């Protein structure tokens, strides 16, 4: 039992291999992330025609909204209630409204008059949305002298989701979002596994058969 306990401790301490170096994403990393997300049914599978992932294109707000909806494992609304003036049951398409409105209802994004579904999104904005969608309850401090962008990046850096970056307002590419989304899933799963291992009770120490024999032999002498 002691040997088993020791082996278990070693297993817990060993790091789980992450898919690639956080934020230092190259084309291969982004493609790997896209295929991983496709396997998780977060995005459509284009592995037979990888060019159709359009990794270098800018990601639209409605697109990352859909990714966030899937990461959060939400149900789509049965109808559009008109939370945003620029999203209806048919505009800009027939799926955005029923998938974006649940993000508001589950406090993953703020309620504003306009969502701007076909606008680009920045790296900081996309990181914030992905962090909230995967289940982290982090909220930035509005009274802090540090910007909300820097606070979210610091949170992600602390958990080794990304390496530090300061170009918060640079438009995020589809490949960058795919890589961060895949990475935040892996890191969150790693943390949850470690938490479960920590909750497991330590195995009770038992007396081995050899020790029992020694006790019996000793008692027979008395």
> What pLDDT digit, counting tens, does each position of 153-186 carry?
999 999 989 989 999 999 999 999 999 999 999 9
Helices (H), 159-208: 174-199
Which long-range CB contacts under 8 A does 206-211 form with residues at least 24 apart? Answer: 206/1
First to last CA, the chain: 30
Report the share of the chain in percent with pLDDT over 90: 73
Give tens-digit pLDDT for 73-86.
999 999 999 999 99
Give tens-digit pLDDT for 45-72.
999 999 999 999 999 999 999 999 999 9
**pTM for this entry:** 0.79
Q: Which residue has the higher pLDDT, 62 or 16?
A: 62
Output the pLDDT for position 201.
Answer: 80
Phi/psi-derived region of residue 73, left when phi > 0, alpha when psi is between -120 and 50, beta in every other case: left
- Return d(Cα 161, Cα 20) in angstroms, integer: 11
Dihedral angle, C-alpha 184, 189, 192, 197, nearest 10 °: -140
**In angstroms, how far is CA 141 from the centroid of its own chain?**
21
- Return d(Cα 68, Cα 95) in angstroms, integer: 14
How many CB atoms are located within 10 Å of the residue 150 CB? 16
Residues in CB range of 185: below 8 A, 6 or more apart: 40, 71, 134
- Return d(Cα 36, Cα 42) in angstroms, integer: 9
- What Rg value do the Cα atoms of the chain yield, rounded? 24
DSSP state of 20: S
Output the pLDDT for position 84.
Answer: 97
Cα–Cα–Cα angle for 46, 78, 45, rounded to 5 degrees: 5
- Return d(Cα 12, Cα 18) in angstroms, integer: 15
């Amino acid at each position: 039992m002691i040997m088993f306990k020791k082996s278990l401790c070693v297993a817990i301490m060993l790091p789980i291999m992450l898919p690639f170096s956080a934020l230092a994403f190259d084309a291969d990393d982004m493609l790997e992330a896209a295929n991983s997300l496709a396997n998780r049914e977060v995005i459509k599978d284009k592995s037979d025609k990888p060019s159709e992932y359009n990794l270098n294109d800018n990601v639209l707000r409605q697109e990352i909204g859909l990714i966030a909806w899937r990461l959060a494992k939400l149900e789509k609304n049965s109808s559009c209630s008109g939370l945003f003036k620029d999203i209806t049951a048919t505009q800009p398409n027939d799926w955005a409204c029923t998938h974006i409105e649940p993000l508001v209802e589950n406090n993953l994004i703020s309620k504003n008059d306009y969502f701007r579904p076909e606008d680009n999104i920045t790296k900081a904005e996309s990181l914030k949305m992905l962090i909230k969608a995967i289940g982290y309850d982090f909220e930035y401090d509005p009274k802090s002298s540090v910007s909300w962008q820097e606070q979210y990046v610091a949170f992600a850096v602390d958990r080794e989701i990304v390496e530090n970056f300061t170009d918060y307002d640079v438009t995020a590419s589809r490949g960058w979002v795919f890589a961060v989304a895949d990475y935040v899933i892996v890191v969150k799963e790693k943390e949850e596994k470690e938490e479960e291992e920590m909750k497991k009770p330590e195995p009770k120490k038992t007396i081995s058969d050899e020790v029992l024999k020694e006790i019996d032999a000793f008692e027979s002498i008395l």
